[in-house]
Amino acid sequence: MRTPRLFAYAFVAVLGLLSAGSAMADVGSGDFNAFLKGTYQLSANSSCSSGPNPGSIGSDPTSFITFAGVITYDGRGHATVTDQGVVIGTGSPDRFDEACKYEYEVARDGSFSQTGFCTDANKTFLLSGIKWNGQIGVGGSVLTTNMVGMDVHTFAVPPGNIISYSICGGVGTAVRIYP
């Protein structure tokens, strides 16, 4: 007599969890960007192969870039970044400070992509065509990102005067510091 009651309780509990899970996954209109909201401390590394035109990518020395900063996602598909980093190529390392703007889209499974551009405070350069893909960790506290593909970035100094084209690969991690 006790076993049927336990099965009934278990059935009700599973049914309740299933309905709560599907309600969570719906997010109203199916706009999953609300899953990505808050401020995160980020760090990333990338390597870029460049050239003076798209057909010559790979003719310039490879650049290695490391940067760290803060990214804020608004829950509606827009993000802003401030970061500092260093570029190491064949010469001495070059330090940079930049601000970036991204548009992002979150999928039902918690994966996301973001595309955007970066510039410095004085608007002396414009790096555009940037695309990162990522995954939101359980609970949304950790993001893992990668830049893998053949997306071509342009580097313009000053903005409007493209001096190089590049293809980059990289990885990054972001940890939530503010909801």
pLDDT tens-digit profile of 48-74?
Answer: 999 999 999 999 999 999 999 999 999
The two three-digit tokens of residue 103, written as one number: 């548009």
Q: Which of the listed CATH numbers 2.40.160, 1.10.3210, 1.10.260, 3.30.300 matches domain 32-178? A: 2.40.160
pLDDT tens-digit profile of 112-156?
Answer: 999 999 999 889 999 999 999 999 999 999 999 999 989 999 999
The pTM for the full model equals 0.82
DSSP conformation letters of 106-127:
E-TTSEEEEEEEEE-TT---EE
Per-residue model confidence (pLDDT) at position 29: 58
The answer to whether 118 and 130 have CB atoms below 8 angstroms apart is: yes
Residues whose CB falls within 8 Å of the CB of residue 89, separated by 6 or more in sequence, listed in order: 61, 62, 63, 64
- The region of weakest confidence among 14-18, 58-62, 156-160 is 14-18
| pLDDT surpasses 50 at 26 | no
Per-residue model confidence (pLDDT) at position 152: 96
Confidence of residue 93 (pLDDT cuts 50, 70, 90): very high
Pairing of strands 111-119, 78-88: unpaired
Domain ranges of the chain: 1-30, 32-178
Residues whose CB falls within 8 Å of the CB of residue 124, separated by 6 or more in sequence, listed in order: 157, 158
Q: Give the position of tokens 């996301």.
A: 112
